[in-house]
Chain A
C-alpha cells in the first residue's frame, strides 16, 4: 500500500492528451513539492517534473505538472509511442522523514 495514490494504468492513442493523478495528505503533497519520475522499460527512473511543475532540461514541453492542495496531476499532450512507461509521483513526507511514492501508473500508447 503506497502512501501516495495513483491509478495503476492509463492509456491513449498517439496525439492524444492523457492525465495521471496523484493524491496524498497534508504531511506530504500538502506541505512539499511534488516530483514526477518516468521509468522506461528495463531502465532506471528519470526525473520528469520537479517542484510541482518544472521540467528539467531536455524534457519536452509536452509534459506538464500541476498541484492543488493534497493532489497533483501529470499531463502528457501529443502522446507518442516513446512515452510508454511507468510514471511515479513522489514527495517528502514529514511523518516518515523521507520520500513517499505513488504505486506507479503504467501508461500504454495504443
Chain B
C-alpha cells in the first residue's frame, strides 16, 4: 500500500523549532519529487516547499524562506522539514505530498505555535 506518514508536530513557542518527518512506503521514494503543504485552521491549502528526487534542488514559499529547510534521506525513505524561528502564523496542519504525475498526500501533522 502506498503510504505517507507524517510525525513530529506539536506545540512550539514563538521563535522555537520543530522538525517534521514523513515516512514513505509502497513506492520508489528516491524517484519522486516531494512537497510540504500546510493548511491553517479554517483556511485553504498552501504550498510550503519542495525537494528534487535526489535532494540536490529545493525551493520555498516566500513566507518560510530562510526559516524552514526541506531535506530527505532516500536510504530511509524519509522526508524532513526543519522549522526554525517559528511564528504564530506557522500554526497549521502540515502535509507531505508526493509529486509527479499522480500526486498523493499524507494524513498530516498539526503544528501549533503559541506561548
Contacts and interface: CB of A to CB of B under 8 A. Distances in A.
A13 to B, nearest CB: 26
Contacts, number: 57
Interface residues of A, number: 24
B26 interface: no
Contacts of A39: 45
Given A98-B50, A99-B99, 18 more contacts: A35-B103, A37-B103, A39-B45, A44-B95, A44-B107, A44-B108, A45-B95, A47-B102, A47-B104, A50-B103, A86-B44, A96-B61, A97-B59, A98-B61, A99-B47, A99-B50, A101-B37, A101-B45
14 contacts: A39-B45, A44-B95, A44-B105, A44-B106, A44-B107, A44-B108, A47-B102, A90-B45, A96-B59, A96-B61, A97-B59, A98-B49, A101-B46, A103-B44
